[in-house]
Amino acid sequence: MKPSKIVVQNLYKVFGDQPQEAMRLLKLGESKESVFHNLGQVVGVNNVSFAVNEGEIFVLMGLSGSGKSTLIRLINRLVDPTSGDILLDGQSITRLSAKELVDLRRRDMSMVFQSFALMPHRTVLDNAAFGLEIAGVGRRARESAAMKVLEQVGLAPFARKYPHQLSGGMQQRVGLARALAVNPSLILMDEAFSALDPLKRAEMQDILLDLQREQRRTIFFVSHDLEEALRIGTRIAIMEGGRLVQVGTPQEIIEKPADDYVRRFFRSVDTSRYLLARDLIDPGLSPSFAATRSVPPSASLNDVLHSLLGEHDPLTVAEQGGSSLGVITSSSALRKLAEHRLRDTV
Amino acid sequence: MSELWQRLMTTPQGALPLGDWVNALIRMLMDHNGGAFDAIGSVVEGLAASVEAMLLALPVWMLMGVFVALGLWRLSWRFAVFVLGAFGLIYVMGFWHQTVSTLALTLSATCLSLLLGVPVGIWCARSNVANVMVRPVLDFMQTMPAFVYLIPAAMFFGLGRVPGILATVVFAIPPAVRLTSLGIRQVNTEQVEAGQAFGCSAWQLLLKVQLPIALPAIMAGVNQTIMMALSMVIIASMVGAGGLGNDVLSSIQRLDVGLGYESGLAVVLLAIVLDRITESFGKGMAARQSRAD
Ligand SMILES: Nc1ncnc2c1ncn2[C@@H]1O[C@H](COP(=O)(O)OP(=O)(O)O)[C@@H](O)[C@H]1O
Ligand SMILES: [Mg+2]
């Protein structure tokens, strides 16, 4: 079992001047709405617990106002928790002094923002080197480190330009470079690609996935776009009104949505695209059914369809050299596909 | 209730001796803090004297050249030609020396205003309490007729450029405070968060994020401060501050319309040059920032 990078335990955040009173009501089971109605206190995060594994892309989803930005800011303590605990690499970070907090942020974590939040008076290179400069790294060392990450995101030729001379997509690549330059083990991204048009967004997702293949960092990614979550997420958490309603892999989320709120996110999304071979297994056939060809359980829908097309015999689902998990037939694949396509369009 | 009303109605006009109280306060300050005023006075005198000596030590062509070059760099060759013409005209009208004195007074007063105003502006941006307290004081300072500062200033510091400069500082500080505070408050939340998320200390946040991003607004404040200082140092000639204001003043005393016109024109030309050049600094920076966030 992989160690947890972040563990969040019974976390609450109340905005307002009577947080303790609000906590008392919440613990009595009152809702966010009733706390606001009775006390005028805004509940941002309401009794949230989860763990983020080392090296995964953990996507937090929810409608606007559901508390995503608050939750992500609790993790680097831009927002102070009202109650509960946050462990980073097993260490609690909820009771750090101001100085310890500054050290923690310089050492091992960084953040990418929806509005890019670049410094307009700094060149692209100086923006990328910002975190290192703050941490006191000398000019030579920080500029060469910054140059390296600018190359990774394809912006080396623009190092001497200013942010306003770049397009939105390029500006966010600077934001990403700034976050990578400090070589953090954890990157927080709050709707980092939401301000970009769909093409630029997909491009940024590819850059992120490529980077992730080279160096495994833990990425905590906030999004309100299910396609983005399904595309990049190792696991997805869904938030509603300050609470977590479901945490799971993309397949778990699309196969077994916890409630209608979760299902609502699927409405405009073709979830069948995210089906894998293991989801297409025919429940009526025994795994020992002899098939001549096999596919790994993580094969994509398209791979399976290519294998099935034109041939009449079924496919065995098995890891390389492993035993059979089950069998896919044309009709089991079609049934699953229809289930998703028809659910999504009604 | 009705008794109170009656008392109010029968109170003679002018029964509140506010002016007497202010006089008493001034007298008390003078009696007990003479040393402090002397110390402040000599610092200001030192600053003003060295600024003026420095400007006068430069050959005329060099000082003009500096402004022409600034005009060329910041604006255009056309403005550089204008600067040359304006300063040439002042020179041939015979007001060069006074203009340099006025420039020195303006610069000294501006320096002091910024030295006091920018930190107060930063304080107001960081604390709502400070903001609420300082704001009415600024309104008071800015709307009080400027002459009113001259009298107590002259009583504390004697005649000369020191009271002139200090009265000017009081008059010219408000825009520096206001625009510094406004500029810092306008910094985008996520930019501040970015600074914090990368581990800025409070000082680093101020120096590397908030002040640089607020700089266009602060430069607009500098521009206004300079313009207000220039208008006030002319008035301050009434307490012997010197410079072009002396010529304006004597033209009034002697009903000399021609002199008034010439010296007034010199003030206007100097004002245009200072205004356009300082404005260009703020604008250049604002253009860089406008599309960045
Ligand atoms: N600083 C704050 N003061 C008061 N209320 C806040 C503050 N920040 C967020 N909130 C409230 O907390 C709730 C969650 O907001 P947020 O975390 O920004 O949601 P999301 O990022 O999912 O859109 C909202 O109701 C919002 O109005
Ligand atoms: Mg948000």
ipTM of the modeled complex: 0.86
- Kindly state whether residues A58 and A206 are assigned to the same domain: yes
Q: Which residues of A touch B194 (CB under 8 A)?
A: 111, 113, 117-119, 130
The answer to whether residue B179 is domain-embedded is: yes
The answer to whether residue B6 is domain-embedded is: no
| Ligand 1 centre distance from Cα of residue A96 (Å) | 23
DSSP state of A300: B
For ligand 1, atom 2, the nearest C-alpha belongs to: A15
Closest ligand to A19 CA? Answer: 1
* Spatial distance between the Cα atoms of B81 and B79, rounded to a whole number of angstroms: 5
Half-sphere exposure of B30 (CA within 13 A, CB side): 13
B83 versus A267: the higher-pLDDT residue is B83
Q: Which pLDDT value is given to residue A345?
A: 52
The answer to whether residue B201 is domain-embedded is: yes
Q: Which pLDDT value is given to residue B147?
A: 81
Q: Which pLDDT value is given to residue B240?
A: 85
The answer to whether residue A315 is domain-embedded is: yes
The answer to whether residue A317 is domain-embedded is: yes
DSSP state of A241: T
- List phi, psi (to 5°) of A7: -125, 125
Test mutation, B198, B210, B218, chain A, max A CBs within 10 A? B198
**What is the best residue among A42, A64, A82 to mutate for testing ligand 1's pocket, by most ligand atoms within 8 Å of CB?**
A42
The answer to whether residue A186 is domain-embedded is: yes
Cβ count within 10 A of residue B39: 11
N- to C-terminal Cα separation, chain B: 59
- Kindly state whether residues A106 and A248 are assigned to the same domain: yes
Minimal Cα–Cα distance from A167 to chain B, Å? 10
pLDDT tens digits along A221-235: 999 999 999 999 999
A137 versus B12: the higher-pLDDT residue is A137
B69 versus B7: the higher-pLDDT residue is B69
Q: Does A118 touch chain B (CB under 8 A)?
A: yes
The answer to whether residue A19 is domain-embedded is: no
- Kindly state whether residues A258 and A313 are assigned to the same domain: no
The answer to whether residue B3 is domain-embedded is: no
- Kindly state whether residues A126 and A250 are assigned to the same domain: yes
The answer to whether residue B227 is domain-embedded is: yes
Nearest to B199 among A116, A134, A171 (CB): A134
Q: Using an 8 Å Cβ cutoff, are B184 and B131 in contact?
A: no
The domain boundary residue, chosen from A253, A271, A289: A271
- Interchain CB distance below 8 Å, A188 and B197: yes
Helix A32-39 × helix A19-27 angle, to 10°: 140
Q: Which residues of B touch A111 (CB under 8 A)?
A: 193-194, 197-198
CB pairs under 8 A between A and B: 85
pLDDT tens digits along B100-114: 999 999 999 999 999
Mean pLDDT computed over every residue of chain B:
89
Using the structure block, give the residue that is written with the tokens 């966030």.
B293
Q: Which residues of A touch B195 (CB under 8 A)?
A: 134
| Ligand 1 centre distance from Cα of residue A65 (Å) | 6
Q: Which pLDDT value is given to residue A64?
A: 92
CATH code, domain carrying A150 = 3.40.50.300
Tokens standing for residue A56: 């995964």
Q: Is the pLDDT of residue B47 over 60?
A: yes
The answer to whether residue A105 is domain-embedded is: yes
Helix B128-143 × helix B96-126 angle, to 10°: 150
- Interchain CB distance below 8 Å, A102 and B199: yes
Output the furthest CA–CA distance in chain A (Å, rounded): 68
Ligand 1 neighbourhood includes A70 CB (under 6 angstroms): yes
- Kindly state whether residues A232 and A103 are assigned to the same domain: yes
The answer to whether residue B11 is domain-embedded is: no
Class of residue A255 by CB neighbours under 10 A (exposed 0-12, middle 13-18, buried 19+): middle
SS3 at position A76: coil
Tokens standing for residue A183: 């070589």
Q: Which residues of B touch A178 (CB under 8 A)?
A: 198
For ligand 1, atom 7, the nearest C-alpha belongs to: A15
Ligand 1 neighbourhood includes A217 CB (under 6 angstroms): no
- Kindly state whether residues A224 and A338 are assigned to the same domain: no
The answer to whether residue A39 is domain-embedded is: no
- Kindly state whether residues A305 and A267 are assigned to the same domain: no
N- to C-terminal Cα separation, chain A: 40
Q: Which residues of B touch A109 (CB under 8 A)?
A: 197
Q: In chain B, where do the E strands start and end?
A: none
H or E stretch covering B214: helix B211-235
Q: Structural domain tally of chain B?
A: 1
The domain boundary residue, chosen from A271, A292, A324: A271
- Interchain CB distance below 8 Å, B215 and A188: no
Q: Is the pLDDT of residue B291 over 60?
A: no
Closest ligand to A190 CA? Answer: 2
Q: Does A117 touch chain B (CB under 8 A)?
A: yes
- Kindly state whether residues A149 and A209 are assigned to the same domain: yes
* Spatial distance between the Cα atoms of A229 and A59, rounded to a whole number of angstroms: 6
| Ligand 2 centre distance from Cα of residue A72 (Å) | 9
Q: Structural domain tally of chain A?
A: 2
Tokens standing for residue A7: 């563990």
Sequence-separated (6 or more) residues with CB below 8 Å from residue A283: A326, A332
Q: What is the mean pLDDT of each run of 10 residues along chain A (346 residues)?
A: 87 94 91 91 95 96 94 96 94 92 93 95 96 95 96 94 93 96 95 93 94 92 93 95 94 87 83 86 81 84 86 83 85 87 64
Query: Measured on CA atoms in the order A250, A255, A257, A263, is the torsion positive or negative?
Result: positive
CATH code, domain carrying B148 = 1.10.3720.10
Q: Which pLDDT value is given to residue B1?
A: 66
- For B233-257, b/e burial (b = at least 16 CB within 10 A) is bbbbbbbbbbbbbbbbbebeeeeee
The answer to whether residue B8 is domain-embedded is: no
- Kindly state whether residues A231 and A279 are assigned to the same domain: no
Ligand 1 neighbourhood includes A19 CB (under 6 angstroms): no
| Ligand 2 centre distance from Cα of residue A191 (Å) | 7
The answer to whether residue A5 is domain-embedded is: no
Q: Using an 8 Å Cβ cutoff, are B117 and B217 in contact?
A: no
Q: Using an 8 Å Cβ cutoff, are A336 and A279 in contact?
A: yes
Test mutation, A124, A142, A164, chain B, max B CBs within 10 A? A164
Ligand 1 neighbourhood includes A105 CB (under 6 angstroms): no
Q: Does A102 touch chain B (CB under 8 A)?
A: yes
- Kindly state whether residues A276 and A202 are assigned to the same domain: no
- Kindly state whether residues A171 and A265 are assigned to the same domain: yes
Ligand 1 neighbourhood includes A15 CB (under 6 angstroms): yes
Nearest to B199 among A106, A114, A117 (CB): A106
Ligand 1 neighbourhood includes A41 CB (under 6 angstroms): no
Q: Using an 8 Å Cβ cutoff, are A284 and A336 in contact?
A: no
pLDDT tens digits along B150-203: 888 888 888 888 999 999 999 999 999 999 999 999 999 999 999 999 999 999
B4 versus B202: the higher-pLDDT residue is B202
The domain boundary residue, chosen from A214, A244, A271: A271
Sequence-separated (6 or more) residues with CB below 8 Å from residue B107: B51
Q: Which pLDDT value is given to residue B191?
A: 96
Of A210, A220, A175, A217, nearest in space to A195 by CA:
A175
Angle A226-A227-A232 (CA atoms, 0-180°, nearest 5)? 100
- Interchain CB distance below 8 Å, A120 and B213: yes
Minimal Cα–Cα distance from B183 to chain A, Å? 14
H or E stretch covering A108: helix A98-108
Sequence-separated (6 or more) residues with CB below 8 Å from residue B245: B102, B233, B234, B235, B236, B237, B238
- Interchain CB distance below 8 Å, B199 and A135: yes
Q: Which pLDDT value is given to residue B292?
A: 43
- Interchain CB distance below 8 Å, A103 and B199: yes
Q: Which pLDDT value is given to residue A346?
A: 46
Q: Is the pLDDT of residue B290 over 70?
A: no
Tokens standing for residue A209: 């996935």
Q: Which residues of A touch B193 (CB under 8 A)?
A: 73, 78, 111, 113, 117
Domain hosting A306: range is 272-345
Q: Which pLDDT value is given to residue A265?
A: 84
For ligand 1, atom 4, the nearest C-alpha belongs to: A15
- List phi, psi (to 5°) of B94: 90, 25
Q: Which residues of B touch A171 (CB under 8 A)?
A: 292
Domain hosting B208: range is 23-292
* Spatial distance between the Cα atoms of B66 and B109, rounded to a whole number of angstroms: 21
- Interchain CB distance below 8 Å, A182 and B198: yes
- Kindly state whether residues A316 and A189 are assigned to the same domain: no
For ligand 1, atom 13, the nearest C-alpha belongs to: A44
CA–CA distances in Å: residue A89 to residues A21, A81, A92, A180, B237: 32, 18, 8, 19, 70
Q: Which residues of B touch A163 (CB under 8 A)?
A: 292
A272 versus B212: the higher-pLDDT residue is B212
Nearest to A120 among B199, B204, B289 (CB): B289
